[in-house]
């Protein structure tokens, strides 16, 4: 019997390994196809449209036009497609057992290509990872794999896409396990590594296998290594500032009194203005060509001449990316983080050369240290950076310094960000906690978690009165009830789009959502969380199953979290009895 079970398990892993090869091919092809899609978009905006403009300064209008195209596509077809693709994959693995939603994925891929091609500041790695994950998910669902195996195959797709992008199979595989899943065993690593190797091989055959970056010597003296103990924590603090700044600008864009579909155009304008005077240095677009241009400039220019330029480029890239993605555009933050880290790393190297000219091996090498250290702190991925940069340079002599910088940066950033990363904080701000065990939430009913005492508003209330009520009660929305019947929902997001001088005149019935999303008290808290995520809302009206207009309560994301905490405490108390 035991022999039979072991044989069955072995055959399962052989089968999964074979499938990972198919996923690796799909992920590699997807990475190549997306790069070509971005190139086509870039050729349209910069090759066809730019020559039609009066002069080169009008280049700032290209990302504006891209934003005007992207905004309606996102908000009309799939509002959840804004931002990067990594968070979508993380949610799919946790909440939907690796089932990638096709519509949102397709919208994100095409809008990301438009954003990048028009000069928006973002990365292509998020969409490429999503393409690979979608391929793995689709293959797994087609042959009806178990939930566990579907997750593994989805991560195989991520690994193949990232490996194909950076010519770094180990880096791609570890990124998939360290950032995307975090819960894999050594057996799971085998098909993921296999998919990464295959994805890299496919991309190498189809694209000229030239590294993304000009590689410095990547050699460090003992003095350099000692200096890394100070540079690493500094980049951990910089990671904290980058993440906080990114979400600060996202909040400012949310507060803009403009229709959502126009906000990506405003973000594009900001990116265009940031990049117009530094066009050759990659503020607009992905930025890899700009990194190479800076490396070549730094190799021949005095350190004193470059220090301020490097700091300015790093800060401008932060602003351009926060505006492009934070305004509601599509694209990743992987590449911009590498760019920002490179600029500040080179600045640190230049400063070290000025202060201790005889002790520094090569200030250019600090660009790669900064690249790895900032991404390690920002994404919570020190191992990914260590392996990926080592693979990209093909040089292991700098490994000790890279390890010091990445680990110390990650440690400081983890403390300051309270265990979060630029990817997970986005989900936590929506009330989505990936660490919440789904079986626990499935056992908690909406009726147990909801608020039974609900403050409601009448359709005839003035908007200004509702606004004052939101500030007074510290709520962010109210159900709209007319003669005891639920007729809508109004939130702070609805109100802040209305100019202040009109809030005194308009009534709730002119603004409120007329068909609020509801749930009944017998459904699970897990279902409530899934519905809130799918519809990008923070609360659901709870109604009677047989009477969908009879309001009996309201449930928010915070209610679900509190119910989960109560359930866990109850389980712990029972275990100690």
Of 250-264, 348-362, 438-452, 494-508, give the lowest mean pLDDT range: 438-452
pLDDT at 198 over 80: yes
Pick the CATH number of 2-206 from 1.10.3080.10, 3.10.20.90, 1.10.357.10, 1.20.140.10: 1.10.3080.10
Write down the pLDDT at residue 75: 82
Pick the CATH number of 438-576 from 3.10.580.10, 3.30.310.80, 1.10.1520.10, 2.40.420.20: 3.10.580.10
For residues 281-302, give the mean pLDDT.
87
394 to 364, 388, 397: CA distances (angstroms): 16, 10, 9
Q: Determine whether 10 is exposed, middle or buried from the number of CB atoms within 10 Å of its CB (0-12, 13-18, 19+).
A: exposed
Counting residues of the chain whose pLDDT is more than 70, the rounded percentage is: 88
Counting residues of the chain whose pLDDT is more than 90, the rounded percentage is: 30
Which range has highest mean pLDDT (96-110, 256-270, 384-398, 419-433)?
Answer: 256-270
State how far the Cα of 46 lies from the Cα of 38, in Å rounded to an integer.
12
Comparing 252 with 80, the larger pLDDT belongs to 252
How far, rounded to the nearest angstrom, does the alpha carbon of residue 308 sit from its chain's CA centroid? 30
- DSSP 3-state of 555: strand
pLDDT at 204 over 80: yes
Q: 108 falls in which pLDDT band (50, 70, 90)?
A: confident
For residues 487-512, give the mean pLDDT.
79
Would you tell me how many other CB atoms lie within 10 Å of the CB of residue 141? 16
Contacts of 88 (CB under 8 A, 6+ apart): 80, 100, 101, 104, 105, 108, 130
Q: Is CATH 1.10.3080.10 what the domain over 222-429 is classified as, yes or no?
A: yes
Task: State the alpha helices, DSSP H only, in 360-454.
Answer: 365-379, 382-393, 399-416, 424-429, 438-443, 446-449
**Claim: this prediction has a pTM higher than 0.85:** no
State how far the Cα of 338 lies from the Cα of 335, in Å rounded to an integer.
5
pLDDT digits (tens, 9 = 90+) for 40-69: 999 999 989 888 888 777 889 999 999 999
Structure tokens at 389: 């940069």
pLDDT at 4 over 50: no
Of 166-180, 215-229, 469-483, give the lowest mean pLDDT range: 469-483
State how far the Cα of 337 lies from the Cα of 175, in Å rounded to an integer.
15
State how far the Cα of 376 lies from the Cα of 367, in Å rounded to an integer.
14
For residues 342-368, give the mean pLDDT.
89
Residues of the chain with CATH 3.10.580.10: 438-576
pLDDT digits (tens, 9 = 90+) for 429-467: 766 666 555 556 666 788 888 888 888 888 888 888 888
Write down the pLDDT at residue 336: 93
Which residue carries 């449930």 as its tokens? 555
State how far the Cα of 529 lies from the Cα of 250, in Å rounded to an integer.
23
Q: Name the nearest CA neighbour of 34 among 116, 136, 138.
A: 116
Of 370-374, 403-407, 506-510, give the lowest mean pLDDT range: 506-510
CB of 478 closer than 8 Å to CB of 541:
no
Comparing 234 with 464, the larger pLDDT belongs to 234
Burial 512-544 (b: 16+ CB within 10 A, else e): beeebebbbbebbbbbbbbbbbeeebbbbbbbe
State how far the Cα of 150 lies from the Cα of 183, in Å rounded to an integer.
14
pLDDT at 400 over 60: yes
CB of 386 closer than 8 Å to CB of 232:
no
For residues 5-26, give the mean pLDDT.
79
Comparing 170 with 99, the larger pLDDT belongs to 170
For residues 544-548, give the mean pLDDT.
80
pLDDT at 1 over 50: no
User: Helices 86-95 and 525-535, interaxial angle, to 10°?
Assistant: 160
pLDDT at 342 over 90: yes
State how far the Cα of 65 lies from the Cα of 462, in Å rounded to an integer.
37
Q: 495 falls in which pLDDT band (50, 70, 90)?
A: confident
pLDDT at 470 over 80: no
User: Helices 399-416 and 365-379, interaxial angle, to 10°?
Assistant: 30
Would you tell me how many other CB atoms lie within 10 Å of the CB of residue 80? 19
Listed as own residue / partner, the contacts of 290-293 with beta carbons closer than 8 Å and 24 or more positions apart are 290/339, 291/213, 291/214, 291/338, 291/339, 291/342, 291/367, 292/213, 292/214
Which range has highest mean pLDDT (127-131, 267-271, 463-467)?
Answer: 267-271
Comparing 379 with 498, the larger pLDDT belongs to 379
Which residue carries 């996102």 as its tokens? 74
State how far the Cα of 110 lies from the Cα of 130, in Å rounded to an integer.
12
Mean pLDDT (the chain) is 84
CB of 60 closer than 8 Å to CB of 273:
yes
Contacts of 540 (CB under 8 A, 6+ apart): 446, 517, 518, 519, 528, 531, 532, 554, 555, 556
Q: Determine whether 23 is exposed, middle or buried from the number of CB atoms within 10 Å of its CB (0-12, 13-18, 19+).
A: buried
CB of 246 closer than 8 Å to CB of 329:
no
Residue 173 exposure: Cα atoms within 13 Å on the Cβ side: 23
Residues of the chain with CATH 1.10.3080.10: 2-206, 222-429
Q: 7 falls in which pLDDT band (50, 70, 90)?
A: very low
Q: Name the nearest CA neighbour of 329 among 321, 317, 337.
A: 321
pLDDT at 337 over 90: yes
CB of 128 closer than 8 Å to CB of 196:
no
Which residue carries 């070509």 as its tokens? 36
The DSSP code for 52 is G
Which range has highest mean pLDDT (92-106, 329-343, 497-511)?
Answer: 329-343
For residues 264-270, give the mean pLDDT.
93
State how far the Cα of 511 lies from the Cα of 460, in Å rounded to an integer.
11
Question: What's the per-residue H, E or C state across 453-499?
Answer: CCCCECCCCEHHHHHHHHHHHCCCEEEEEECCEEEEEEEHHHHHCCC
Helix (H) / strand (E) element for 569: namely helix 557-576
pLDDT at 97 over 60: no
Task: State the alpha helices, DSSP H only, in 78-185.
Answer: 86-95, 102-117, 125-142, 147-166, 169-175
How many residues in total does the chain contain? 577
Q: 474 falls in which pLDDT band (50, 70, 90)?
A: low
Compute the C-alpha angle 254/260/263, nearest 5°.
75
For residues 273-292, give the mean pLDDT.
88
pLDDT at 382 over 60: yes
Write down the pLDDT at residue 373: 96
């Amino acid at each position: 019997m035991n022999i039979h079970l072991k044989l069955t398990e072995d055959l399962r892993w052989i089968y999964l390994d074979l499938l990972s090869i198919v996923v690796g091919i799909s992920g590699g092809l997807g990475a190549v196809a997306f790069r070509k899609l971005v190139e086509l978009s870039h050729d349209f905006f910069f090759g066809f449209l730019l020559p039609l403009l009066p002069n080169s300064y009008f280049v700032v209008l290209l990302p504006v036009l891209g934003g005007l195209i992207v905004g309606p596509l996102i908000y009309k077809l799939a509002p959840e497609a804004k931002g990067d693709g990594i968070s979508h994959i993380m949610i799919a693995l946790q909440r939907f057992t690796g089932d990638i939603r096709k519509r949102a994925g397709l919208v994100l891929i095409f809008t990301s290509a438009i954003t990048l091609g028009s000069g928006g500041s973002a990365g292509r790695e998020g969409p490429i990872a999503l393409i690979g994950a979608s391929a793995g998910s689709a293959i797994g669902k087609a042959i009806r794999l178990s939930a566990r195996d579907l997750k593994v195959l989805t991560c195989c797709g991520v690994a193949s896409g990232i490996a194909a992008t950076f010519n770094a199979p180990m880096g791609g595989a570890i990124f998939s396990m360290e950032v995307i899943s975090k819960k894999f065993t050594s057996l799971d690593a085998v098909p993921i590594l296999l998919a990464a190797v295959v994805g890299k091989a496919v991309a190498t055959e189809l694209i000229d296998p030239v590294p993304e970056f000009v590689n410095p010597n990547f050699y460090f003296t003992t003095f350099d290594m000692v200096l890394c103990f100070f540079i690493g924590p500094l980049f951990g603090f910089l990671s904290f500032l980058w993440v906080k700044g990114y979400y600060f600008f996202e909040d400012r864009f949310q507060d803009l009194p403009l229709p959502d579909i126009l906000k990506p155009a405003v973000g594009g304008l900001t990116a265009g203005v940031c990049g117009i005077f530094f066009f050759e240095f990659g503020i607009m677009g992905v930025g890899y060509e700009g990194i190479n241009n800076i490396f070549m400039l730094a190799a021949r220019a005095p350190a004193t001449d470059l220090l301020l330029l490097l700091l300015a480029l790093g800060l401008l890239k932060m602003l351009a990316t926060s505006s492009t993605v934070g305004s509601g555009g599509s694209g990743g933050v992987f590449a911009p983080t590498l760019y920002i880290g490179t600029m500040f790393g080179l600045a640190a190297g230049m400063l070290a050369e000025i202060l201790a000219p005889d002790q520094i091996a090569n200030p250019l090498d600090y660009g790669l240290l900064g690249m790895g250290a900032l991404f390690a702190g920002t994404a919570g991925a020190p191992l990914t950076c260590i392996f990926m940069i080592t693979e990209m340079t093909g040089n292991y002599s700098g490994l000790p310094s890279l390890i010091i910088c990445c680990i110390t940066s990650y440690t400081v950033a983890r403390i300051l960000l309270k265990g979060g990363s630029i990817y997970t904080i986005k989900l936590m701000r929506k009330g989505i906690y990936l660490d919440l065990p789904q079986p626990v939430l499935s056992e908690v009913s909406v009726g147990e978690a909801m608020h039974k005492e609900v403050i409601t508003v009448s359709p005839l209330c003035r908007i200004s009165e509702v606004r004052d009520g939101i500030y007074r009660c510290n709520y962010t929305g109210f159900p709209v009830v007319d003669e005891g019947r639920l007729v809508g929902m109004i939130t702070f997001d609805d109100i802040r789009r209305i100019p202040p001088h009109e809030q005194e005149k308009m009534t709730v019935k002119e603004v409120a959502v007329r068909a609020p999303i509801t749930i009944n008290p017998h459904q699970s808290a897990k279902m409530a969380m899934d519905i809130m995520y799918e519809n990008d809302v923070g609360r659901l009206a709870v109604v009677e199953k047989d009477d969908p207009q009879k309001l009996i309560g309201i449930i928010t994301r915070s209610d679900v979290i509190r119910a989960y905490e109560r359930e866990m405490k109850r389980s712990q108390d029972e275990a100690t009895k």
